Structures are given as structure tokens and as C-alpha cells.
Amino acid sequence: MSLVNANSERTAVLFLAQGRVLRQLRYSEFEAVLDHVGAMGEFSSSQAQAVFIEIDGSLRVVAAVFFILEFDTRGYPDPQWNLPLQLLASQAQPGPDMGAGPIRLATRSRCPVSWHRDQLWDPPLTGSANPFETIAQLVLENRLGMSRCDPPAKGRTQLAADVEQSRYGVGLSDSATALRREERVRLARRLRAARGKVARLRIDQEKQLVELHSRHRRQLLELEQAVASLQLQLGDEQRVSSQLKQSLDAQAEHFSRMRNLISQQISTLENGGQLGQQLGEEFNVRLDAATAELQEQLERKDVELFYQDGEIKCLGEKVAHLEQQKVELEKKLAGSDFLHELSDAGVSFVAVQPGAGEFRVPLEDIPAYLESPLDYAARYCYVDIQHYRAWLEHNRKPVCQEASGNGKLCGLPVHRCGSPATFEPGESDRCSQHKASSLTLRQVMQSRGA
């Protein structure tokens, strides 16, 4: 058996409770449980505390990752669970000595990847619930039948040969080892620098995308508000103009009747001399002046309405132009050479949302994700946005949402539903008492309907 295969066989997952090991599985068996090949009924409707361990050839623990796994009512694990256990174990910090020197330990407070911290837990390091001694003793018992690969004892002949060989080859071996170590250090530095550069470029690109999108939305909102304000002003001006026109028409009609009446009176007094003629001329002058003033007001209002119509049309064209620029900008950003170069180089755009976990955002979906991350996460979880928001509130504060007669919530703690797809509003966010009352009410309603 090769060394790689031997190392892969010496990994296991242990399920713990109060410092005791409830169940132990080889990692291959644990993967089968994740694929729903089998169920673990003892953990149904609960959140289990488990530890992933790596074991050396002498059956000593060299790495441990303490993680959390939620099970549904049938004893199957959460299908959205996807924690890179082996990656966390390889990047973990030094921990306690379990027989082979300090182990690599990853817990919630010592997580090497920050966004996976909430999926880990902190074991007690002292007291009767300390799991490390229990785990070390259980590994030595080897109930899982791990392959053992102790280093062979050297005989006297082999020892003498080694001493003789080391006498002549120590210089060459030390030189080659130093060269290999220097080359590994140089390659590691270059790899870290390249990864850091790619991460900075990705962060800068995301910031630019968010900033451009926010700026464009603000400009579009300001223009829409300006258009709405001008439309309201135009409506007010049109109503005032209509009222003024009706008033002018009424006054013109009144003046016309008065003019006809006075004309008749003047005709009757035509022979009355100079006084009647003078009164008629003064009235005509006043009437002509009032008519001219009203006509001037009408013309001024018409001009104002004409210019306002022009401004509204111009603003509408600007809004249409900005919307077109927005579409072109989103297409340009979605199809930018830089993003395609990152995608071709193997860089994936990964997002993390509650309930959806860590998921990859395709290049063509980046504009939709930036438009509304919650909508995108809801679609990823195969629920609508109202359902997803209700689950977010339940996940943030898992308490009973049943309202009493005075309008106050029940507030009793309930089991946190870890997946939006399995969350049922009105059922998952109710305590056992209100679940029972709700079930009884539905049975009564069904019996009445029948």
C-alpha cells in the first residue's frame, strides 16, 4: 500500500457529547453519510458536535478539526453542509500534544479560515469534559481497524551501514536538503505573493463594481425624483392655468354682456349730448385695457407651459440615456476582459450568504448578484424572497413568533432550522405548545370543512 493511500485511510470522524465519544466513523463512511446513503437516527432533529482527526502510522493524533453538523428529523445531515475539513486541518494552528508532538488544531476560536468560524466549536481544554485524552485513548484502541505503519527497527548490520554511509554522504545530503528547503521557501513566497495579488485585484474590482453601481443608481434616482417633481409642478401649473382660463372666459363673457348693455344704453342716450359720448369712450378704453391684460397673462402662461414641456422632455431623454448607459455598463462589467482573464486563470467568484453557505457566482450572474444579494441567495436556496427573509429572522433569533391576545410574542426559544428550504413559516418558528394548538386548530377546521 502506498503512503498516500495509507494516510487517506487514517482519517476518521468522531461524534462527541459531554467529553464522551458517541460514535466513530472512518472518513469514507462519513462521506457516505453526507451523501445520504445512510441515516444517523440518534442525532435526528439535533445539532451534533463532531471532530475530524488525522492519525499517523503509530496511531497518534496529528490533526483535529472540531466542527458542527445539523441533522433533520429523519437523521440525515444538512445537504447544504460543505466544510473543507482536510484544508482546515492542513492550515490549523499548533495545539496540545497528543503523543506525537503538538497537533494541528482548528476550533471556533482558532479557525484558519474566518468565514468557516460559525461552523466550528470550542472544546473544553480542562475538566472532566476534556475530549483530548478520550480521543487519544480511543485511537490507540483502534476499533476502526486503522492500518499501522511503525518504523522498522534497524539491526546491527544495517546500523553499521548507515553509520558508514553517513560518514561519506552527510555533506552531500545536507547540501541537497538545504537547496530543496531554499527552493520550497522561494516557491512558497512567490505563491503567497501571487495569491495576495489576485485577492487584492479581486477585492478592488468588486469595490469598483459596487461603487459604480451605487453611483449610477443614485444618479438615476435623483433624475427620477427631479422628473417626478417637475411633473407635479406641471400638473399644478396646468390646473392653475385651467382655472385662470375659466376665470378669464367668465370675465370676458361678463364684459361682453356689460358692453352690449352699455352700448344699448348709449344708443338710447345718443341724443343726450357730449356726456353720453364721453362715458362710452371711457368704458371702451377700460374694457380694452382689461382685455389686453388678460390676454397677456394667457400668453405668458402658454409660454411657461411650453418651456416646462421642453424641460420634461429633455429630462426624459436624459433618464433614457442613463438607463441605456446602465445596461451597457452592466454588460461591459459582466463581459470585461479582466473578469474573463481571472475566470480563465481559475479564479472563482465565491459568495457567502446565510442558509446558502459558500457558493460560486458565475461570471454572467455577477450583475444580478450585485443588484440584490438576498434575491440571488433566495433563488439559490429554491425559495422566494419573503420565505428567505422570514428564515433570516428565525435564524437570527430563533424564538416562538406566536402572538398572544395583547399583541406580545410568546418568545420561547425554538430549534433553529438551518436551511431555508426546510423552514416552514408558522411551524418551524413555533414552540411545542403553539405547534400543538396550531395543529389542533387545523384539525378542527378540517373536520368542520368535511
Assigned domain for 53 exists = yes
Assigned domain for 29 exists = yes
* Cβ–Cβ < 8 Å for 224, 319: yes
Looking at 102, 128, 150, which one is the last position of a domain? 150
Looking at 150, 182, 205, which one is the last position of a domain? 150
State residue 3's pLDDT score.
Answer: 38
Helix extents (H) in 57-155: 85-90, 131-141
Are 310 and 232 part of one and the same domain?
yes
Interval 223-282: pLDDT, tens: 989 999 898 889 888 889 888 888 888 888 888 888 888 878 777 766 665 665 677 788
Query: Of all residues in the chain, what percent carry a pLDDT higher than 70?
Result: 79
Confidence of residue 61 (pLDDT cuts 50, 70, 90): very high
Q: What does the longest C-alpha to C-alpha distance in the chain come to?
A: 161
Are 324 and 401 part of one and the same domain?
no
Are 121 and 64 part of one and the same domain?
yes
Assigned domain for 292 exists = yes
Are 9 and 144 part of one and the same domain?
yes
Interval 342-356: pLDDT, tens: 777 777 788 888 888
Tell me the C-alpha distance between 212 and 367, whole Å: 11
Assigned domain for 111 exists = yes
Assigned domain for 47 exists = yes
Assigned domain for 380 exists = yes
Looking at 100, 130, 150, which one is the last position of a domain? 150
Whether pLDDT at 153 is above 70: no
pTM over 0.75: no
Confidence of residue 337 (pLDDT cuts 50, 70, 90): low
Cβ atoms < 10 Å from Cβ of 154:
11
pLDDT average, residue stretch 355-363: 84
Confidence of residue 155 (pLDDT cuts 50, 70, 90): very low
Cell 382655472 belongs to residue: 243
Interval 165-178: pLDDT, tens: 444 444 445 556 66
Pick left, alpha or beta for residue 99 (phi over 0 → left; psi -120 to 50 → alpha; otherwise beta). Answer: left
Question: What's the total number of domains in the chain?
Answer: 3
The residue with greater pLDDT, 310 or 40, is: 40
Interval 12-21: pLDDT, tens: 999 998 878 9
Are 321 and 429 part of one and the same domain?
no
Are 384 and 317 part of one and the same domain?
no
Interval 47-60: pLDDT, tens: 999 999 999 888 89
CA-to-CA separations, 319 to 314, 326, 405, in angstroms, rounded: 9, 10, 50
Are 315 and 253 part of one and the same domain?
yes
Are 135 and 243 part of one and the same domain?
no
* Cβ–Cβ < 8 Å for 107, 93: no
Query: Of all residues in the chain, what percent carry a pLDDT higher than 90?
Result: 18
Write the DSSP symbol of residue 415: P
Assigned domain for 42 exists = yes
CA atoms within 13 A on the CB side of 121: 18
C-alpha cell at 11: 482519517
Assigned domain for 277 exists = yes
Tell me the C-alpha distance between 276 and 286, whole Å: 16
Are 248 and 142 part of one and the same domain?
no
Are 11 and 144 part of one and the same domain?
yes
Are 325 and 396 part of one and the same domain?
no
Write the DSSP symbol of residue 21: E
Are 37 and 145 part of one and the same domain?
yes
CA atoms within 13 A on the CB side of 257: 5
Domain that holds residue 434: 372-449
Whether pLDDT at 293 is above 50: yes
Tell me the C-alpha distance between 75 and 336, whole Å: 46
